[in-house]
Amino acid sequence: MRRQLRRALVTTMGRPLHWFSNTVQAVAAVNGTLAALYYLLFSRAFRREQQATLAGKVAYHRCRGRLGASSTVLRRNIHRLEKGLIMSPRRIPFALDYLDETVEHFVASFQEGTLNARELEWADHVLAEYFACTGHEPAVERCRRLYLAVKQEAAGGREGRVADRLIPSPQGALPHCPVPYDDILALLKRRRSVRWFVPRPVPRGVVEKAVRAASLAPSACNRQPFWFELLEAPLEAKRVAELAMGTQGFSQNIPCLLVLVGDLQAFPHERDRHVIYIDASLAAMSLMLAIESLGLSSCPINWPDIPSRERAMQRALGLKVHQRPIMLIALGYADPEGGVPSSQKKPVSLLLRCSTPSSSRSRTSASAANSQAPPPRRRRCSSSATGGRRGRGDASRRRVERPQGRVQQIRTQVEETTSD
């Protein structure tokens, strides 16, 4: 009876309600304040993200950037020092606004002995290099003395051979790229989302190798604010996989599951709350490619931001509020008979847009920010290969002009900022 009543109510009121809700949303979308009011009054969709971001900020200040065996402050600042060291010309002295913090973190980490050895070694080598090429300003001197005192105190605080030192090196000294484009394309084509696996356990060593590959992915300021939670027992993998919405029909045959978790404790500012998703996703892609190269397959699984599911995952993995699931990845040996959707990809012409009109090319970012003019219109890149209609003269002019505009833009940005 009650169900029928509800159905009748939905049928009669559904349309007007839908219209009302669409109208309210359209009005609220006009500016930020109205949008915030809308979410405060009508929707709880962002509550958890807000709480997680704030909890992360509080946790950051409480532990001052230390995440157990890693220090996000040290990682970021050492990265910034390395960037300062590669500037050409080098602006000496640099890093004065964060040198104190960096050396204090280094000293604390040295004394506590909790930091992982590789991170400590990296910080040590970069600081040594920084002090070797920086003058004797009072601010630098104080930090130098602190650094050297700790180094002398520590047993075995050797410098190591120059070749082994974890400091910036010329690009030309990097290992040669051994993978031709066609081979990387073949690997990328071979990686598909596989949902049917044979019941064969995934060796821990294979997962470790894949995570090693994932660890080489880029991350903002080299913080790497995420980890992979491994569920190797098929029953456990199934239970956790079912917390996500997209595993219906195949969760029961996932032999091994990874949950990629991002930690907002790495960030003191709200502006960086999205970084966990970017960093973790880049690592996820590397991991899936590595898994493929090791003879296994994978399927990324969406993690929906739904409070009840977040709470369930929090309980399952023992997560804190600021530790957010990013996505799940099913792993296993593919069943060769299992179907794989064709999942046609978008053509390059839809994925690549080339900017920008010549009027905005010569503008600096500052003047562009002050301008009331509408943003430059973007258009799809077209080349002779993709059947563009522009004349040849036009295309060649664009080829000549665009890099200059870009170089100018980059120069301006580099001049304006010293951090990521």
Q: How many CB atoms lie within 10 A of CB 332?
A: 26
Dihedral sign, Cα of residue 228, residue 232, residue 237, residue 239: negative
- Contact status: 257 vs ligand FMN (CB under 6 A): no
Place of tokens 């939670």: 229
Q: Which residue type does 129 have?
A: E
Q: Which of 151, 165, 192, 361 binds ligand FMN (CB under 6 A)?
A: 192
Q: How far apart are CA 94 and CA 80, in angstroms?
A: 10
- Contact status: 214 vs ligand FMN (CB under 6 A): no
Helix or strand or coil: residue 302?
Answer: strand
CB of 371 to ligand FMN, least distance (A): 36
Per the CB < 8 A criterion, the answer to whether 301 and 266 are in contact is no
- Please report, as residue ranges, which positions from 69 to 108 form the binding site for ligand FMN (by CB under 6 A): none
CB of 340 to ligand FMN, least distance (A): 6
Helix or strand or coil: residue 43?
Answer: coil
Nearer to ligand FMN, 120 or 301 (CB): 301
CB of 239 to ligand FMN, least distance (A): 16
**Sole window of 42-50, 122-130, 190-198, 209-217 interacting with ligand FMN (rule: CB under 6 A):** 190-198
Q: Which of 193, 293, 360, 364 binds ligand FMN (CB under 6 A)?
A: 193
**Sole window of 144-152, 297-305, 388-396, 405-413 interacting with ligand FMN (rule: CB under 6 A):** 297-305
Nearer to ligand FMN, 302 or 413 (CB): 302
- Please report, as residue ranges, which positions from 149 to 178 form the binding site for ligand FMN (by CB under 6 A): none
- Contact status: 299 vs ligand FMN (CB under 6 A): yes
- Contact status: 343 vs ligand FMN (CB under 6 A): yes
CB of 231 to ligand FMN, least distance (A): 16
Q: How far apart are CA 408 and CA 402, in angstroms?
A: 10
CB of 191 to ligand FMN, least distance (A): 7
Question: Is the omega angle on the peptide bond into residue 89 within 30 degrees of 0, that is, cis?
Answer: yes
Q: How far apart are CA 323 and CA 128, in angstroms?
A: 34
Which residue lies nearest ligand FMN, judged by its C-beta? 246
- Please report, as residue ranges, which positions from 225 to 254 form the binding site for ligand FMN (by CB under 6 A): 244, 246
Q: Which of 327, 329, 331, 334 binds ligand FMN (CB under 6 A)?
A: 327
Nearer to ligand FMN, 301 or 331 (CB): 301
Per the CB < 8 A criterion, the answer to whether 313 and 245 are in contact is no
CB of 184 to ligand FMN, least distance (A): 15
- Contact status: 309 vs ligand FMN (CB under 6 A): no
CB of 250 to ligand FMN, least distance (A): 7
How does DSSP assign 143-186, residue by residue? HHHHHHHHHHHSTT-----GGG--S---GGGSPP----HHHHHH
Entry field: residues in the chain: 420
Q: How far apart are CA 4 and CA 22, in angstroms?
A: 26
How does DSSP assign 316-355, residue by residue? HHT--TTEEEEEEEEEE-B-TTS-----PPPPHHHH-EE-
User: Residues binding ligand FMN: what is the number (CB under 6 A)?
Assistant: 11
Q: How far apart are CA 141 and CA 134, in angstroms?
A: 9
Q: Which residue type does 355 have?
A: S
Nearer to ligand FMN, 289 or 327 (CB): 327
CB of 242 to ligand FMN, least distance (A): 11
- Look at strands 353-354 and 323-332 and give their pairing: unpaired
First to last CA, the chain: 61
CB of 248 to ligand FMN, least distance (A): 9
CB of 193 to ligand FMN, least distance (A): 3
**Sole window of 81-89, 252-260, 299-307, 405-413 interacting with ligand FMN (rule: CB under 6 A):** 299-307
Interface contacts to ligand FMN, rule CB under 6 A: 192-193, 195, 244, 246, 299-302, 327, 343
